[in-house]
Amino acid sequence: MKDKKDALLLLGCPQVPVQTGIALYLMHGLRKHGVVPVVAGNPAARMLIEVSDPLHHYVGEMIDLDTCIADLAEKRRVFSYYIVFVHNDAGVSYAATVQAITGKTVVALVYGEHFQEVAGTINFPCEKVTAKAVHNPMPMKKKIDEVLPWLVSNL
């Protein structure tokens, strides 16, 4: 059993403007709770994080999304927490995949213009954190502030 806690933050396509800002804010919060954030995403999502946090004050390791899924499936990687950013059907599919292959609780951060409809398509066990956050990150920031202490204490 590892001593350090870590969290996988699985980022989707950075089509919705708030994703990078919310991801960095969440990484900051996780670090304050002693949790090391590991980011998995497509090249564009990872590059936005890299440009925004070049000295890795917030982000820990960054890995390719497909490599991450393969590593989870083959049990080469295990994380303390699984947090998936969801703003479309692909995000729902990734969250379902992570939950199915790990058997662990997944936290789905559901945001975007149609967050309620997207959240309604989630039909697998997970914790949903939802907010209409497209350009303004504050609705999701407030939700993260509410749930982060619970998340790191209970999952």
Domains of the chain and CATH, by start: 5-141 (3.40.50.10160)
Mean pLDDT of 18-27: 98
In a 3-state reduction of DSSP, which class is residue 58? Answer: coil
Residue 1 has pLDDT above 70, yes or no: no
CA 10 → CA 39, 67, 98, 113, 144, distances in Å? 6, 12, 9, 20, 16
**Whole-number pLDDT of residue 146:** 96
Q: What is the DSSP code string of 76-140?
A: S---SEEEEEESSHHHHHHHHHHHHHH-S-EEEEE-STTHHHHHHT--SS-EEEE---SS--HHH
What distance in Å separates the CA atoms of residue 60 and residue 72, rounded to the nearest whole number? 18
* Residue 2 banded pLDDT, cuts 50, 70, 90: low
Mean pLDDT of 81-105: 98
In the chain, % of residues over pLDDT 90: 95
Mean pLDDT of 85-112: 98
**Whole-number pLDDT of residue 154:** 86
* Cα 91 to the center of its chain, rounded Å: 10
| Burial grade of 83 (CB within 10 A; 0-12, 13-18, 19 or more) | buried
Residue 155 has pLDDT above 80, yes or no: no
**Model confidence over 39-81: pLDDT tens digits?**
999 999 999 999 999 999 999 999 999 999 999 999 999 999 9
Mean pLDDT of 3-15: 94
Q: Report the predicted TM-score, pTM, of the whole model to 2 decimal places.
A: 0.95
Which run of H or E residues covers position 5?
strand 5-10
Mean pLDDT of 120-141: 97
Mean pLDDT of the residues in the chain: 96
What distance in Å separates the CA atoms of residue 14 and residue 9, rounded to the nearest whole number? 13
